[in-house]
Structure 1
């Protein structure tokens, strides 16, 4: 690969060529490194779903996060001087048709082409249902594997890239039979979009086991489909790089791509950060806080932790929980709307954190020996909430409210009778707690 990039006047096989190589390439005489960047599940222009996106400033910052992550991947490929970029499926997101997406993609791939970096790409389930996939004329540095499978030698190297694409948006059977045997005496990298033996939240596509992959004799399996990064095996490598940009709290944490370094027939890997914004869950413990000033101070101090885990230019969308035992328990619950706004403002003061949701898991201070009328009323409300008649009436009222919603939204909230019962119980408990907090906070 190095020689292929040298001036034409530098020939191979004689002393003068050797001298020229040493002057042209500072590291000539050492074993050359070849780098390859592996990503998957880009889901280009997929929207980030978050309650925090109602904030105009935040929405402006991250509405194009998947594009920004992809630009970062191309930037890394250029900066590292990789020999190839691998995209193991789901470059696109669903069946949306967008000329802007197509134009953006071609523009980024042209950057690779100008640097003579090839892209190897297999179609995943989302690519197969996206009309853009078959319409965009991709630059000639892009090799798209078809559904029959194939292999391509990386120019100027003894590295072979193997891959199989989805023919449609479903692949219920194993696709391993479509891979040809590895090339003897070479480095063989195989690309596959698969759920492996199954993964929560992902359809069971192109199922296979890690043991089956290992047995086929490839040196590196460049996988895609499951959005959580996982290195399943090291000899050979079986790597699921995960989604490069999380889209909701279900895809929490910083995201990355995988950089392969091939030296003397051996492969080493490292994570390369890619996400622009991270979704994070975080707990704020206010145990022992005796006044509101102390609670606010605890919140400010606690938010240093999520910032510490971010890259210098990244933002984070938080789901926070306020927990612990404090004398201000009832007052905080009584004024939960005020505290929700307070926490949001403290987070935004950092310039990097945004609150999607604040939950309260506070513990009441230990009760004394005396029982107040408010405490008696609280116990009475709890007893009523547990009665079958109350539960049936409450469930009927919740069902009536849900019936006014669009069918799709109703289906999300109430998948079955069990879900309806759980939703009703949760609402009754929250309402009872809020009413009790109003009374308790006023009496203390």
Structure 2
């Protein structure tokens, strides 16, 4: 039996992005999350007694220039060297632009494929590893023509950093299709670049292992590396968990709650669910939503700042959970009759918000506020005119709802 571990998109020292990191204790504990996740990859390789480790690109995270990163990486590879485990590594778009890459003397158990491509046989085994690295930051054309033909009668593994036919949120690099990969005769395609794990094919295996440590709510859920087991020429694949901090979306339904004590009890009880899915030593950062119909609808919206702090404290008391953002999607009970002057004013505010003149003025004011932000943050919030319009609408609706909640809550 032969075991091989396949990972990609480690993005060493890439910062985790979350509003929850404003908490000093949390920030100090997870600032090295990508390193900790990579350490778990190495731990898994040693614990499983693998024959090799494959890193399919983006080991680094852009133009990071930390000597500590280089020293950490060399130390982890030396752990594998002591166990006589070779590492096969191809450069992706982030590696190609990183000044550390190629300047650090990595242990001699690390084989880095270059842009010309090549193949290496695993010692004393009929298993060959093929790989092609990026020559620069961009690879707009297919790299498939640089692969040697598979070795007849052997197990052939090919490493490629690619977006395949395209993936949302990822640059279109080294494009190719799964059907093209299948025709080349390799037994396993060890891919990288797209951060969501996906098994695209099992005959042959075409596997994108995903990122080993999520970095924001857009990379939610537990992350892993992929373990190949080769026996009698057949390949089996399984996930090995690696992330130390998990980003999660979590909803708490408070429908029917008649008072604040009941809402608090629902929240406290519901916070057990995300903990149950975590490994014993792991933390989670939650984007939490309170939803449902409750008689306390307007009161909660009126006091949303108090509830936000209350929920954050409940999460922190678990010692495992941290709130990134709390959203309110609450409704008044269906039997409520809206006849008061407050409801009439609420309908009037909705009409005003829908007027073109109001929308234009709101758009100008939001644009003015955003212009005061650093360019990088401004680009995140306002990538184009459509994004600016959507943000303005969201802020106007939130402001109207909050003002109405203040009036409604005060009148009851």
**TM superposition score normalised by structure 1:** 0.91
CA distances 1:102-155 after superposition (whole Å, capped 9, x unpaired)? 000001111111111100000001000001001000100011111011000000
SS in 1 for 2:100: helix
Note closer, same or farther for the CA distance 1:438–1:230 as it changes in structure 2 (3 Å cut). Answer: same
Structure 1 gap ranges (5+): 1-32
Residue 38 of structure 2 corresponds to: 70
Residue 183 of structure 1 corresponds to: 151
2:192 matches 1:224: yes
CA distance in 1, matches of 2:336, 2:285: 40
2:237 matches 1:262: no
Structure 2 gap ranges (5+): none
Residue 182 of structure 2 corresponds to: 214
CA distances 1:174-229 after superposition (whole Å, capped 9, x unpaired)? 00011111111111111000000000000000000001111111111111000000
2:374 matches 1:406: yes
CA distance in 2, matches of 1:333, 1:407: 32
From 265, 290, 294, the equivalent of 1:297 is 265
Q: Which has the larger radius of gyration?
A: 1
Shift of 1:333: 0.1
From 353, 360, 365, the equivalent of 2:328 is 360
Residue 431 of structure 1 corresponds to: 399
CA distance in 1, matches of 2:336, 2:8: 58
CA distance in 2, matches of 1:220, 1:418: 42
From 242, 246, 257, the equivalent of 1:274 is 242
Note closer, same or farther for the CA distance 1:213–1:372 as it changes in structure 2 (3 Å cut). Answer: same
From 149, 153, 172, the equivalent of 2:121 is 153
CA distance in 2, matches of 1:305, 1:123: 39
CA distances 1:318-372 after superposition (whole Å, capped 9, x unpaired)? 0001000000000000000000011111111111111000001001223545611
Residue 36 of structure 1 corresponds to: 4
Residue 193 of structure 1 corresponds to: 161
Residue 8 of structure 1 corresponds to: none
CA distance in 1, matches of 2:100, 2:334: 62
Residue 114 of structure 1 corresponds to: 82
CA distance in 2, matches of 1:264, 1:410: 55
Trace 1:40-51 onto structure 2 (pairs within 5 A).
Answer: 40-51=8-19
From 238, 241, 246, the equivalent of 2:206 is 238
Report the RMSD for the aligned CA atoms in angstroms.
1.1
